[in-house]
C-alpha cells in the first residue's frame, strides 16, 4: 500500500498539543492587543531617543510604530535596508498555518498591512486569501482538525471541496482531496514595502544609516552607554535589537544569549505569465505559490528537507 506522507510543512499548528482552551486564549490575547494598540498612552514619550539595530521589516515597522508614539528614532543597518530576508521573501501575509499562540499577532498584522496604504506606504498588499491543500487522507484529517481550532481562535477558515478548489485555482492537480481557505490572509511586495517604509521614516524625521555595523556595546552598571559601530559610537535612551538571525551573535555581545535557529528557504520565480492563473496564496505539499501583480509565478519552499512534490499542472502557462 502506498504510504501517505504528511507534506503540510507550512502547517506549524501542533495538533497534539493545542486545545480549544488555547484557542480561546488566542481570542483573549487578540482583544487585549487590539485595545493596547488603539491607544497606547503609556508608550507616548517625547524627547526619548531609541536606536534600532537592524533594518529589516521588523526594525522598520518598529520604527514606524515608535515614531508615531513620539520617540526620536535612529536605525543602524550593517548592509542595505531590506537586503536580507525582508526584501526578498515570498510576500505571504499569513495566519493560516501558524501556531495558535501566533494567531492574535498574525490577525493584527493583516490589519496593519491593510492600513499602511492610508499612510501612503506602498506595499501592494492584497487581501487575496490563502488556500492550504491536502493531497491524502492523513493531510485531510490534519486540516479538518486545524479548521476547528482556527475558527475557535478567531480566524475565519472554511473547508473547500475539490470543486471549490478547482474554481479558485484551476491548475491544481485532480489528486487534491480538500483544502482550507482563510479569507483574511494576503500577500505583499517585500522590496516595495521596505523601500516605501524607509522613505516614510526619513520624511518623518527618523535618522536612517546604512552600511553601519554594530560591533559591540559599551556597558556600565548593566546599562548600555552606547553602541560601537564601524561608523562611530551611537548613544540612545534605549536600544532595540531587530537583527533577525544575527540576534544570536549580537546577544552574545550583551551576555544575554538568545538562540535563533535559521531555516533554509528557497524561491523560484517564473517569467511573466500574462494571464492571471493564481489569485490566492496557495500552500501544500511542502510548497507555497503565488502570482505577483506583474504576473510572475513564485514557488517557494524548503525548510524541512523533505522531498517536494508537485501539485500544479504548469505545462500550459502561456
CB of 219 to ligand FAD, least distance (A): 16
Backbone angles phi, psi at 240, to 5 degrees: -120, 125
- Bridge partners of 269, per DSSP, are 298
**Numbers of helices and strands, H then E, in the chain:** 7, 16
Spatial CA neighbour of 102 closest among 48, 49, 26: 26
Instruction: Pick the piece of the chain touching ligand FAD (CB under 6 A) from 42-50, 82-90, 130-138, 153-161.
Output: 82-90
The answer to whether residue 78 forms part of the interface with ligand FAD (CB under 6 A) is yes
Q: 209-228 mask for ligand FAD (x: CB under 6 A)? A: ----xx--------------
The answer to whether residue 53 forms part of the interface with ligand FAD (CB under 6 A) is yes
Site for ligand FAD in 228-257 (CB under 6 A): 242-246, 250
* Calpha distance 172→158 (Å, rounded): 18
The answer to whether residue 64 forms part of the interface with ligand FAD (CB under 6 A) is no
List, in order, residues 6 or more apart from 115 with CB less than 8 Å away.
none
Number of residues in contact with ligand FAD under rule CB under 6 A: 30
Spatial CA neighbour of 91 closest among 125, 129, 116: 125
Helix (H) or strand (E) holding 300: strand 296-302
The answer to whether residue 90 forms part of the interface with ligand FAD (CB under 6 A) is yes
Identify the residue whose cell numbers are 484529517.
141
Query: Which listed residue (55, 97, 104, 129) binds ligand FAD by CB under 6 A?
Result: 55
The answer to whether residue 280 forms part of the interface with ligand FAD (CB under 6 A) is no
The answer to whether residue 297 forms part of the interface with ligand FAD (CB under 6 A) is no
CB of 232 to ligand FAD, least distance (A): 13
Query: Which listed residue (43, 67, 85, 112) binds ligand FAD by CB under 6 A?
Result: 85
CB of 223 to ligand FAD, least distance (A): 20
Pick between residue 72 and residue 76 the one whose CB is nearest to ligand FAD: 76
Spatial CA neighbour of 64 closest among 192, 188, 198: 198
Q: What is the CA radius of gyration of the chain?
A: 21
Query: Helix 20-38 crosses helix 103-116 at what angle (to 10 degrees)?
Result: 40
Query: Can you give the binding site for ligand FAD, defined by CB under 6 A?
Result: 53-59, 76-79, 83-86, 89-92, 213-214, 242-246, 250, 265, 267, 300
Amino acid at each position: 500500500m502506498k504510504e501517505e506522507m504528511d507534506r503540510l510543512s507550512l502547517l506549524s499548528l501542533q495538533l497534539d498539543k493545542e486545545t480549544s482552551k488555547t484557542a480561546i486564549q488566542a481570542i483573549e490575547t487578540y482583544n487585549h492587543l487590539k485595545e493596547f494598540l488603539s491607544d497606547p498612552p503609556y508608550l507616548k514619550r517625547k524627547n526619548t531617543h531609541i536606536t534600532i539595530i537592524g533594518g529589516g521589516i521588523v526594525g522598520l515597522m518598529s520604527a514606524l510604530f515608535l515614531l508615531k508614539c513620539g520617540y526620536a528614532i535612529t536605525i543602524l543597518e550593517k548592509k542595505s535596508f531590506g537586503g536580507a530576508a525582508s526584501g526578498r521573501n515570498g510576500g505571504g501575509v499569513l495566519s493560516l498555518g501558524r501556531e495558535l499562540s501566533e494567531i492574535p499577532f498574525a490577525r493584527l498584522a493583516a490589519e496593519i498591512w491593510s492600513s499602511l496604504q492610508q499612510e501612503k506606504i506602498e506595499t501592494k498588499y492584497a487581501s487575496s486569501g490563502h488556500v492550504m491543500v491536502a493531497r491524502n487522507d492523513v493531510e485531510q484529517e490534519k486540516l479538518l482538525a486545524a479548521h476547528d481550532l482556527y475558527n475557535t481562535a478567531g480566524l475565519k477558515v472554511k473547508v473547500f471541496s475539490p470543486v471549490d478548489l478547482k474554481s479558485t485555482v484551476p491548475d491544481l492537480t485532480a489528486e487534491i482531496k480538500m483544502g482550507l481557505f482563510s479569507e483574511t490572509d494576503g500577500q505583499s511586495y517585500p522590496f516595495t514595502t521596505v523601500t516605501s517604509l524607509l522613505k516614510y521614516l526619513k520624511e518623518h524625521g527618523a535618522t536612517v544609516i546604512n552600511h553601519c555595523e554594530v560591533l559591540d556595546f559599551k556597558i556600565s552598571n548593566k546599562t548600555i552607554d552606547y553602541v560601537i559601530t564601524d561608523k562611530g559610537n551611537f548613544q540612545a535612551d534605549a536600544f532595540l535589537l531587530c537583527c533577525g538571525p544575527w540576534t544570536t551573535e549580537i546577544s552574545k555581545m550583551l551576555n544575554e544569549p538568545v538562540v535563533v535557529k535559521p531555516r533554509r528557504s528557497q524561491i523560484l520565480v517564473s517569467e511573466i505569465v500574462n494571464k492571471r492563473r493564481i489569485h490566492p496564496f496557495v500552500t501544500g505539499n511542502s510548497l507555497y505559490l503565488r502570482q505577483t501583480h506583474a504576473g510572475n509565478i513564485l514557488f517557494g519552499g524548503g525548510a524541512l528537507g523533505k522531498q517536494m512534490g508537485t501539485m500544479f499542472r504548469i505545462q500550459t502557462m502561456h
